[in-house]
Amino acid sequence: MSAELQNHLADEVAIQITNMNKWYGDFHVLRDINLTVQRGERIVIAGPSGSGKSTMIRCINRLEEHQKGQIVVDGTELSSDLKNIDKIRREVGMCFQHFNLFPHLTILENCTLAPMWVRKTPKKEAEELAMHFLEKVKIPDQANKYPGMLSGGQQQRVAIARSLCMQPRIMLFDEPTSALDPEMIKEVLDTMVTLADEGMTMLCVTHEMGFARQVADRVIFMDQGQIVEQNEPEEFFNNPKSDRTKLFLSQIL
Ligand code: ADP
Ligand code: MG
């Protein structure tokens, strides 16, 4: 293979996880995880509580450390090298169940903080960028309020906008709608659909199977620290292969 072609192929791969294992003390939480995510691919990760979904997502930006195997994000391998960790965190945005906005900062300040302090973006430019993404998540009118004045759904959309202000190439979502009242789930999912439509590389842990059907290129099913099965949504839902997947689907659908 020519070097040029190899580079091209490497650029098409956003995340490459190879034989990755993780332990919490003696507890073997992730077992031989292998996963290749293409650039622009949208992946939904499903599975029972405790199966290791959050741990896997958190290993990808080194909120948790893996002990064996390899994780390569955007061509950079995650090791104990702090430079690499910094580089990867700058390219990978993350959105959690609990939005963790800074309560004493306005919505706008929540969004400009990291670009100004981490990326050294000038204030005016950071504010323009923040307003751009607050418009994208459809709450520019809330910019000068404090998080406590917003609904849960609005706060989660701010959290997404805040991540986008760092202009990540990959977004990780860990149950972003699980803490929301039902009427607010749709507005957050709509925001995620917009991102997906724009070609963002996304890994989403979610129980929203309607979202999975609508946007996922691939659904990954985890159980007991392993990837048990993966398929495109239609096949995954209509024709699950393993008994564990069938049992899981029968419980949630
Ligand atoms: P999921 O997100 O699929 O519910 P998690 O990745 O949160 O699963 O957890 C996987 C397993 O690891 C669970 O058994 C959980 O109790 C355990 N676990 C999670 N975090 C820690 C931790 N910091 N220390 C020890 N065990 C943990
Ligand atoms: Mg979890």
Split at pLDDT 50, 70, 90, the class of 11 is confident
Threshold 0.80, pTM exceeds: yes
Mean pLDDT on 34-52: 97
- 208, 46 Cβ separation under 8 angstroms: no
- Res 99: pLDDT: 86
- Res 241: pLDDT: 96
Q: Do strands 68-73 and 218-223 pair parallel, antiparallel, or not at all (unpaired)?
A: unpaired
Q: Quick one: 131 exposed, middle or buried, by C-beta within 10 A (0-12, 13-18, 19+)?
A: middle
- Res 10: pLDDT: 58
pLDDT beyond 80 at 5: no
- Among residues of the chain, what percentage have pLDDT more than 70? 96
Q: How far is the CA of 137 from the centre of ligand 2 (A)?
A: 24
Nearest atom within ligand 1 for CA of residue 52: 6
Split at pLDDT 50, 70, 90, the class of 80 is confident
Nearest atom within ligand 1 for CA of residue 49: 4
Nearest atom within ligand 1 for CA of residue 25: 25
Q: How far is the CA of 27 from the centre of ligand 1 (A)?
A: 10
What is the number of the ligand closest to the CA of 47? Answer: 1
Listed residue (106, 75, 108) closest to 91, CA to CA:
75
Q: Which residues line ligand 1 (CB under 6 A)?
A: 24, 27, 29, 47, 49-55
The whole-angstrom separation of Cα 61 and Cα 253 is: 31
The whole-angstrom separation of Cα 241 and Cα 184 is: 33
Split at pLDDT 50, 70, 90, the class of 107 is very high
Nearest CA to ligand 1 atom 23: 24
CA distances from 102 to 110, 113, 115 (A): 6, 10, 15
Split at pLDDT 50, 70, 90, the class of 9 is low
Question: Ligand 1, residues 20, 29, 252: which to mutate, most atoms within 8 A of Cβ?
Answer: 29
Mean pLDDT on 194-216: 95
Q: How far is the CA of 54 from the centre of ligand 2 (A)?
A: 4
- 171, 194 Cβ separation under 8 angstroms: no
Nearest atom within ligand 1 for CA of residue 57: 6
